[in-house]
Amino acid sequence: MTVGSHTRAASLPRTAFYAATAGVVAWAAFAVPLPFVEYVPNTPTPVASLIDIDGIEVTEIDGDAALLTVLLRQQPTVPAIGALLDDRRDLLHVTRIYPPGVDRQEYLRVERDRFGRQFDIAAVVGAQAAGVEADVVTEVVVVHVLDDSPADGVLVPGDTVLAVNGVPIAAAEQLQAITEQRRDGDELRLTIRHDGEVRDVTAALAPDSEGQPRLGIQIQTSVDELQLPFTIRLADGTRIGGPSAGLMVALTVYDILSEEDLLAGRVVAGTGSLDADGRVGSVGGVAEKVLAAADYGAEIVLVPNPSLAVARDAAPDHLEVVGVTTLDGALEALRAAR
């Protein structure tokens, strides 16, 4: 064998190794998830298909009210870079979606529970707007406590937060708003119900991974008592999570129970949480939801007012985007657009 042929023969395994390595790297770039999550537009869901009502006279809806959702997709390197370079796409670190130390399947289960509780609240608020005697009593329940957080050893899952610094609260958004207005090190006096006993505990706020003052707990608004003169149920098999469907559920219940033709044959899509007083709360993924609404053929999109600028930037010119702060405001906006 000549020296040249020996060199070529010896280089073959090395070439094959480099080729295999490059293949693995290329595969990983497209297939191995990074610790980043992207909001991806999801197909809108007709709200009426989620609602079962018995024991009260209903009217037929003329049109389509659809709630907007997003998919959470953990992206590999190449799609993640594409999202970073595209102003229309949101790429978030996985810890901003899934709380540290929380099993993801458990997190998704809790989010589906939140949807069910938001459905109950929205159903009552929509019925009240339609003139039906109804009421709901809500409370703030601790779902998870992060290890080594200010609340660790002070609160446990299942505790109910009744008041903060002596001020009663009935929605998770109230406690979140209170912490956002405080600084690191500020102490909060929490009145809680633990195993049936009411007592006061104290915790000092500490910065989270983004430097925001937090207690280090995951909370949700829970329905303590639902008072309706009819039966309303969430359709079986619903796997939507989170509270962002509240506004559209309430509007649909109103349209079903009232004599008003609210939709008037239009396709209306929207997103936004709703508390027991009819206030619309902010939600995530608004830009992606607006894109999904446009593809769905929506004529009007309702979004929480703080997200209006983001929604309008994402919307095509033909799509009317309206910011709302209350259910009453949403009703008036649909009437005016009609």
Point out the domain boundary residue: 177, 193, 227.
Answer: 227
Determine, yes or no, domain membership for 77. no
- Are 220 and 295 found together in one domain? no
- Are 300 and 240 found together in one domain? yes
Determine, yes or no, domain membership for 79. no
- Are 197 and 295 found together in one domain? no
Determine, yes or no, domain membership for 76. no
Determine, yes or no, domain membership for 239. yes
Question: What is the structure's pLDDT at 75?
Answer: 63
- Are 160 and 218 found together in one domain? yes
- Are 130 and 267 found together in one domain? yes
- Are 141 and 178 found together in one domain? yes
- Are 215 and 263 found together in one domain? no
CA distance 338 to 322: 13
Q: How far is the CA of 127 from the CAs of 12, 83, 257, 335, in angstroms?
A: 75, 41, 7, 18
Determine, yes or no, domain membership for 80. no
List the one residue out of 308, 324, 162, 192 whose CA is nearest residue 246.
324
Which CATH number goes with the domain that contains 260? 3.30.230.10
3-state secondary structure of 275: coil
Outline where the chain has alpha helix (H). 3-31, 77-85, 94-97, 104-129, 172-180, 246-257, 286-296, 308-314, 327-337
List the one residue out of 90, 115, 5 whose CA is nearest residue 289.
90
- Are 122 and 248 found together in one domain? yes
- Are 214 and 244 found together in one domain? no
Point out the domain boundary residue: 209, 227, 245.
Answer: 227
- Are 253 and 310 found together in one domain? yes
Determine, yes or no, domain membership for 240. yes
- Are 203 and 142 found together in one domain? yes
- Residue by residue, pLDDT tens for the chain (338 residues) are 444 555 455 555 555 544 444 444 443 344 445 567 777 889 999 999 999 999 999 999 999 999 999 987 766 655 656 655 555 566 666 666 666 666 778 777 878 888 888 999 999 999 999 999 998 888 999 988 988 999 999 999 999 999 999 999 998 889 988 998 999 999 999 999 998 999 999 999 998 877 888 999 989 888 888 889 999 998 887 888 888 999 999 999 999 999 999 999 999 999 999 988 899 999 989 999 999 999 999 999 999 999 999 999 999 999 999 999 999 999 999 999 87
- Are 337 and 233 found together in one domain? yes
Domain range for 108:
40-69+104-134+228-338
Point out the domain boundary residue: 227, 260, 281.
Answer: 227
CA distance 331 to 126: 10
Determine, yes or no, domain membership for 291. yes
Based on the structure, what is the number of domains in the chain? 3
Question: What is the structure's pLDDT at 22?
Answer: 44
Which CATH number goes with the domain that contains 180? 2.30.42.10
List the one residue out of 57, 102, 93, 55 whose CA is nearest residue 74.
93
Question: What is the structure's pLDDT at 165?
Answer: 96
CA distance 288 to 314: 8
